[in-house]
Amino acid sequence: MLEHALTALDALFDPLRLAALFAGMIVGMVFGMLPGLGGVAAVSILLPFIYYLDDYSGLAMLLGAVSVVYTSDTITSVLLGAPGSPASAPTAIEGHALAKQGQAARALGVGFLASMVGGLVGALILFLAIPIAGPIVLMLSTPELFMFALVGLFFASSMIGKDLAKGLAAACLGVLLGVVGPAQAAADFRFTFGQVYLLDGFSLTIVALGLFGVAEVISMLAAGGGISHERMEVVRWGEGFRDFWRNKWLVLRAAFIGVLGGFVPAVGASASTWVAYGHAIRSTKDKSKFGKGEIRGIAASEGANNATVISDLVPTVLFSVPGGPAAAIFLGALFSFGYYPGPRMINQNPDLMFLIVWSVALTSVVGAALCFAITPALARLTRIPFAIIAAPLVLIMVIGAYQSTSTMGDIFMLFTLGALGWLMKHGGWPRAPALVGFVLSGPMEQYFWLTNQIHGWSWLTRPGVLLIASVIVIPLILSTIRWLRTRRTPGEEGPGDEDATPPESNRGIALVLAVTCSAMFSYALWEMFSFNPASRLMPSLAIVPGLPLALWLVIRGVREYENDFARDAGELTVLAVLIGYTIAVWAIGLSIPTVALIAYMLLYRARMRPWTAAIYGMFVFGIVRILFDLLRGDAPVGALIALS
């Protein structure tokens, strides 16, 4: 084994291959920092160029891009609150809260170090585990895979916010969004309303950008000023290093969770990151800071999600089952170079397996170093009026969303889900469970259907299932016992006596959202009975708990109702402008509405001087057009122009 590892290392240090690796790394860093583009866009851009290189150089270029995406998207998650991927949602929650407190450099420093360690731990573990990786993966059957996904969804629902009902309802809403489109177990198209656009379901990029990115842009544009209202020091790294060192064992444990989670096809990064984040919460005595800017949350999530980069490739190269979209492109590249993934690949192509390990390890270190080098300049962006940053940011989100199907439906859904994300934010509903529910709905349906077909309901008694289920059941039992004891203690209030809706939440919006979700779940229940029985499994997992929870939140919302809509009138204005922009793009095309939107943000929101705004606006518009051409997407023409 050591001989093959040294041979692969020697092959990688060929100057051409190193250049290819670092070129891919730069592309991955840039695309990782652009919301909605990320690893899939990065490897897609590089794919045409790898065929001009030899097999090792071409694969090293792709690996360089994939390996640093989770490191560089920390920047977007912290500074803008828009996770570059579902696995970065905990970083966006905790890191963006710290950025608003003037501690962006601290959050970024811990995130970069944890990402580097996660990548190195993943590489080290797989270096030692390559001979036994196949048997480890084969030990997991569909019941265990389903339960592992369920654990990730439960952790996302219960770890954010104090209101478990809203967290679980949000998760059910995410699963319901995830089942729109073709059913995996029968010839059904669910909840498409006769629209061709919905036949393939919603795009992950659009859901992530809408729920998080657009919602944050609306709030920050209305608030004015910079992302951070506190003075920020970006030259003192000592606090960040001390934070990392204090949490070094947490990072290592999170990296192990990430490696194990990465073995699970199509589930790994999203589920394992939330399991690691939940572990960080449970292992912390003072849990009050979580959701408000807790550095341990960043350390755990970044250590876990970066460790999955390499372990995501295990099911790809051993079973031809991609661990994610970027891994699917890597799988296609392997076939193109004449490699045929399978359990025998470890014996037939051991040098290639170790090339993957070395490439990820090297780019983890170099990528983190580069991120540290540019962090001071990027952290200063948080003091710039946000409207200046929002102009290109919103348009990059539009480009990222438009890559899904290159139709106007992409842009409509981006801002529709952005409005939903804004409602959830101000109504006190956590958005992360909805995103994780959406991501896990596909693999959960596949595993749930196969489990019932193969095992019936006897799978509930399998030892592995019971062991994984205990991660959910035991904390629930302990929480219930603590709640009952608190209720019986005179003079103390239990969870049921606390104000259910936090004071910072808009109670009017909370009621509107609960009524809307109740209507959605009710309609979904009615339409579900028209599906084939096999197509009802996953919708029922969302509707059966989701509808009672939403109705309960309606009842509670009526009891707590206050007419406080005027408090967020400024944000409603920004939301109306973005919706108007979408309608204008649909009607007359991209160019004129985009120029008008840039002018609105720079002249009205940022209060820039006309000449300065004109020069900067021309630059932003030019970049937008270049990105459209680079990503091989034709910009929207407009329905009225097309008809004429």
Three-class SS of residue 561? coil
Evaluated on CA atoms 266, 270, 273, 276, the torsion sign reads: negative
CB 432 within 8 A of CB 171: no
Q: In terms of Cα–Cα distance, which of 70, 53, 58 is closest to 21?
A: 58
Number of Cβ atoms within 10 Å of the Cβ of 533: 8
Spatial distance between the Cα atoms of 514 and 584, rounded to a whole number of angstroms? 30
Residue 551 has pLDDT above 90, yes or no: yes
User: How many percent of the chain have pLDDT more than 90?
Assistant: 8
> What pLDDT does residue 416 have?
92
Answer left, alpha or beta for residue 614, where phi above 0 means left and psi between -120 and 50 means alpha.
alpha
Residue 517 has pLDDT above 80, yes or no: yes
Residue 634 has pLDDT above 80, yes or no: no
CB 448 within 8 A of CB 542: no
Residue 532 has pLDDT above 80, yes or no: yes
Q: What is the pLDDT of residues 246-287, one digit of tens each?
A: 888 988 888 888 887 766 655 556 667 777 887 888 788 777
CB 66 within 8 A of CB 363: no
> What pLDDT does residue 161 have?
55
Spatial distance between the Cα atoms of 46 and 128, rounded to a whole number of angstroms? 30
Spatial distance between the Cα atoms of 228 and 226, rounded to a whole number of angstroms? 5
When computed from its CA atoms, the radius of gyration of the chain, rounded to whole angstroms, is 24
How much is the average pLDDT of 75-91? 73
> What pLDDT does residue 565 have?
67
Structure tokens at 550: 């939403």
Spatial distance between the Cα atoms of 254 and 272, rounded to a whole number of angstroms? 8
What are the residues facing 182 on neighbouring strands? 189
Spatial distance between the Cα atoms of 120 and 360, rounded to a whole number of angstroms? 8
Evaluated on CA atoms 186, 187, 191, 196, the torsion sign reads: positive
Q: What is the pLDDT of residues 22-44, one digit of tens each?
A: 988 888 887 777 665 556 566 76
How much is the average pLDDT of 506-528? 90
Residue 521 has pLDDT above 90, yes or no: yes
Three-class SS of residue 185? coil
pTM: 0.70
Three-class SS of residue 553? helix
Residue 128 has pLDDT above 90, yes or no: no
What are the residues facing 181 on neighbouring strands? 190
CB 241 within 8 A of CB 109: yes
> What pLDDT does residue 271 have?
67
Higher pLDDT, 287 or 463: 463
- Model confidence at 498, pLDDT cuts 50, 70, 90, reads very low
Higher pLDDT, 610 or 205: 610
Higher pLDDT, 385 or 618: 618
Indicate the angle between helix axes 432-455 and 537-560, nearest 10 degrees.
140
- Model confidence at 97, pLDDT cuts 50, 70, 90, reads confident
Q: What is the pLDDT of residues 340-385, one digit of tens each?
A: 766 567 667 778 878 888 888 888 888 888 888 877 776 666 667 7
The most confident of the ranges 135-149, 154-168, 389-403, 594-608 is 594-608
Number of Cβ atoms within 10 Å of the Cβ of 471: 17
Question: DSSP class of residue 344?
Answer: T
**Alpha helical stretches, state H, 263-407:** 268-282, 295-311, 313-319, 325-336, 345-348, 350-379, 386-402
> What pLDDT does residue 385 have?
76
Residue 496 has pLDDT above 60, yes or no: no
Chain centroid, CA 308 distance in Å: 14
Q: How many residues does the chain have?
A: 644
CB 179 within 8 A of CB 191: yes
Residue 70 has pLDDT above 90, yes or no: no
**What is the rounded average pLDDT for all residues in the chain?**
78
> What pLDDT does residue 237 have?
62
Burial class, 47, CB count within 10 angstroms (exposed 0-12 / middle 13-18 / buried 19+): middle
Spatial distance between the Cα atoms of 450 and 456, rounded to a whole number of angstroms? 9
Spatial distance between the Cα atoms of 39 and 464, rounded to a whole number of angstroms? 33
- Model confidence at 644, pLDDT cuts 50, 70, 90, reads low
Residue 497 has pLDDT above 50, yes or no: no
C-alpha separations of 449 from 164, 322, 566 in Å: 28, 20, 47
Spatial distance between the Cα atoms of 144 and 260, rounded to a whole number of angstroms? 13
Indicate the angle between helix axes 215-223 and 569-588, nearest 10 degrees.
120
> What pLDDT does residue 580 have?
92
